[in-house]
């Protein structure tokens, strides 16, 4: 558990450092990430389980990293995603996502929320899962439970919805910030990883299916 323990401890509150030692802003950090990964065939190899590594731990590390990545990405356009501009959590006209959390008294049944409310609840819910030692054990020698994979799948399925909302409703703003290369690379990495371990059903990717096919065909 040593590598996951290290990732979890730094992951949910990770700070990217600029060359001057000061914290880099979200835009700068995303550009740095894009420059280091865009167009790299290494992504296909990078998602594969390294020899001798525990699969659950490998997946858990990436779940945390994808959460951080999406959180940072969304933070660049959060002022432009409001209950007024985005009154529903949608991906175009065809797909609308309702929020449900069986542990909450307010959201035991699927509930319509604005996009920012949905995403805030999602990111908070995910962060709480990271703090749950049942699903994300941090003690050395403690194994992942048999139902951990189901939790990983649920988290990733919901995180994908943020990608879908951004592409359909905020792509112009992302492009104006010159962050579309990062967005594409992030989605490609996310999709390759999920496909590698069969973590998200194909039907969940339908809102961005054409785009994903184009990204996966790139070399």
The helices-and-strands tally (H runs, E runs) of the chain is 9, 2
The answer to whether 64 touches 130, Cβ cutoff 8 Å, is yes
Contacts of 120 (CB under 8 A, 6+ apart): none
**DSSP class of 78:** G
Contacts of 107 (CB under 8 A, 6+ apart): 99, 100, 101, 121
The answer to whether 165 touches 86, Cβ cutoff 8 Å, is yes
Annotated binding residue at 62?
no
Q: CA 6 to CA 19: how far, in whole Å?
A: 23
Annotated binding residue at 165?
yes
Exposure string for 143-164, b = 16+ CB within 10 A, e = fewer? ebeeebbebbbebbebbbbbbb
φ, ψ for residue 159, nearest 5 deg: -65, -35
Tokens found for residue 215: 């990204």
Q: CA 219 to CA 200: how far, in whole Å?
A: 23
Please give the annotated binding residues, written as ranges.
81, 86, 165, 170
Please give the annotated binding residues for Zn(2+), written as ranges.
81, 86, 165, 170
């Amino acid at each position: 558990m040593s590598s996951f323990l290290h990732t979890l401890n730094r992951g949910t509150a990770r700070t990217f450092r600029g060359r001057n030692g000061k914290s880099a802003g979200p835009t700068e950090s995303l550009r740095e990430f894009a420059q280091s990964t865009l167009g790299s065939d290494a992504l296909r190899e990078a998602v594969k389980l390294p020899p001798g590594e525990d699969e659950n731990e490998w997946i858990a590390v990436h779940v945390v990293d994808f959460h951080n990545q999406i959180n940072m990405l969304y933070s660049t356009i959060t002022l432009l995603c409001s209950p007024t501009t985005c009154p529903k959590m949608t991906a175009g006209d065809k797909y609308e996502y309702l929020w449900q959390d069986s542990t909450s008294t307010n959201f035991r049944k699927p509930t319509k929320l604005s996009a920012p409310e949905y995403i805030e609840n999602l990111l908070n819910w995910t962060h709480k899962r990271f703090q749950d030692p049942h699903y994300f054990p941090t003690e050395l020698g403690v194994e992942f439970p048999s139902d951990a994979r189901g939790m990983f799948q649920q988290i990733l399925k919901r995180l994908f919805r943020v990608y879908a909302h951004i592409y359909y409703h905020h792509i112009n703003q992302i492009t104006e910030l010159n962050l579309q290369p990062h967005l594409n690379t992030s989605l490609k990495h996310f999709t390759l990883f999920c496909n590698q371990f069969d973590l998200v059903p194909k039907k969940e990717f339908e809102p961005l299916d054409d785009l994903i096919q184009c990204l996966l065909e790139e070399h």
